[in-house]
Chain A
Amino acid sequence: NAGVMQNPRHLVRRRGQEARLRCSPMKGHSHVYWYRQLPEEGLKFMVYLQKENIIDESGMPKERFSAEFPKEGPSILRIQQVVRGDSAAYFCASSLLGGYGYTFGSGTRLTVV
């Protein structure tokens, strides 16, 4: 079992570019969650998805951020027109049942220059 796979591990973008972060859940897991960790802070919930559906996006910024979990392929967190304040570690987690026993990936560290 390969666990939750996130890529890339590190991503550098210039201000105004787009960032695309990918997450492949554990085999058999159909629930995916994205969290953001700003420097020196804890993790904050962003969005919860099941296959082809966004279940809860109450933690997502209203603009520039979007997420999807298609029927085939990984979940994608997309940040358009990145700004320096978007620099953070973005973690993906998956679970077998909704909300129970999360397993986290190793994260993507986004740096906006």
Chain B
Amino acid sequence: GIQVEQSPPDLILQEGANSTLRCNFSDSVNNLQWFHQNPWGQLINLFYIPSGTKQNGRLSATTVATERYSLLYISSSQTTDSGVYFCAVAPVGSARQLTFGSGTQLTVLP
């Protein structure tokens, strides 16, 4: 099956710093989503981005489908950004089940 690798596994930032999270995948996809799991366990959909670039406030994401990677940018980080960020993909021809990466644990310090 498709492989999803996220880096870095852990990231500690000071409030106000910027960061870039990366997601590499092993096959062509037609579904890619970024999620934030907050410290209470809730899973928040950040972006549906199988290709191209999107922005939402301090967050933006870029997927380069031909090179099989996606990047999530967090600018001016806040303590509420802490949690685990997951990338999830579904390969072409099997758009139903998402395969999740192992996540990036982000801690933003005040």
Contacts and interface: CB of A to CB of B under 8 A. Distances in A.
A25 interface: no
10 contacts: A33-B96, A35-B100, A42-B102, A45-B98, A99-B95, A101-B33, A103-B45, A104-B35, A104-B43, A104-B45
Given A99-B94, A101-B33, A109-B41, 4 more contacts: A42-B100, A43-B43, A104-B35, A106-B43
Interface residues of A, dominant DSSP: strand
Interface in B61-110: 86, 88, 90, 94-103
Interface residues of B, number: 22
Interface of B: 31, 33, 35, 41-45, 48, 86, 88, 90, 94-103
Nearest to A45: B97
Interface in A76-113: 89, 91, 98-104, 106-107, 109
A44 interface: yes
A1 to B, nearest CB: 13
A12 interface: no
Interface range, A side: 20 to 34
Nearest to A89: B41
Given A48-B96, A99-B31, A104-B35, A42 B101 contact: yes
Contacts of B98: 33, 35, 43, 45, 99, 102
Contact of B86 (A42, A89, A106): A42
